[in-house]
């Protein structure tokens, strides 16, 4: 088994969906999460609060700094993610297709490094 991170990428231009749409999405993602858990593939996952709520900490210099906002100036940011266990990339891609349909966003599939597992 390999751990894969399935990232849901958002952009700053994305419009905030209506409450109704959000509720519907929470429900489908919930069902998908249950399916992952039952299959024994679930490791962790969740949706993140809006990008404005992030804070960046950098302790690589002499003195740690704390800055308001995201690390990157990029227009894309992580909106949520799953970490799953899968036998191989084909299985991970299959879960990613379901996850993408459930959350209504593109999903990036990336394996964890062997050495970190």
Partner 1 sequence: MTALGADAVADVVRAEYGRVVAGLIRRFGDIQLAEDALGEALVIALERWPQDGVPPNPAGWLTTTAHRKALDHLRREKVRDEKYAEAAMLTDDTIPEPTGPVTDDRLRLIFTCCHPALAEPARVALTLRLLGGLTVAEIANAFLVPETTMAQRITRAKAKIAKARIPYRIPDQADIAERLEGVLAVLYLVYNEGYLSSSADNADRQDLAEEAIRLTRAVRSISSGIGSPPEVDGLLALMLLSQARRPARIAAGGSLVTLDEQDRTRWDADLIDEGHALVRECLRRNAPGPYQIQAAIQAVHTDALDASLTDWAQIAALYDQLMVLQPTPIVALNRAVAVAELDGPHVALAVVDGLKLTAYAPWHATRADLLRRLGREDDARRAYAAAIATTENPAERAWLASRRESLGGPTSRRGSRA
Question: Which positions lie near partner 1, rule CB under 8 A?
Answer: 2, 87-90, 93, 109-111, 113-114
Nearer to partner 1, 21 or 87 (CB): 87
Nearer to partner 1, 29 or 82 (CB): 82
CA distances from 92 to 42, 103, 114 (A): 11, 16, 16
Min separation Cβ 81 and partner 1, Å: 17
> What stretch of H or E contains 46?
strand 42-47
Nearer to partner 1, 5 or 29 (CB): 5
Min separation Cβ 90 and partner 1, Å: 5
Which residues 6+ apart lie within 8 Å of 17 measured at CB?
25
Instruction: Tell me the β-bridge partners of 109.
Output: 6
Min separation Cβ 92 and partner 1, Å: 8
Nearer to partner 1, 55 or 117 (CB): 117
Q: Is the distance from CB of 79 to CB of 9 less than 8 angstroms?
A: yes
């Amino acid at each position: 088994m390999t751990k894969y991170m399935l990232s849901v990428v958002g952009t700053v231009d994305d419009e905030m969906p209506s409450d109704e749409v959000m509720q519907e999405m929470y429900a489908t993602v919930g069902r998908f999460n249950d399916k992952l858990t039952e299959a024994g593939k679930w490791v962790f996952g969740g949706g993140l609060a809006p990008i404005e709520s992030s804070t960046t900490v950098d302790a690589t210099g002499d003195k740690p700094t704390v800055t308001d906002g995201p690390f990157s100036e990029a227009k894309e940011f992580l909106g949520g993610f799953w970490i799953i266990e899968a036998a191989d990339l084909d299985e991970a891609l299959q879960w990613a297709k379901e996850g993408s349909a459930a959350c209504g966003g593109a999903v990036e599939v990336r394996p964890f490094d062997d050495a970190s597992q």
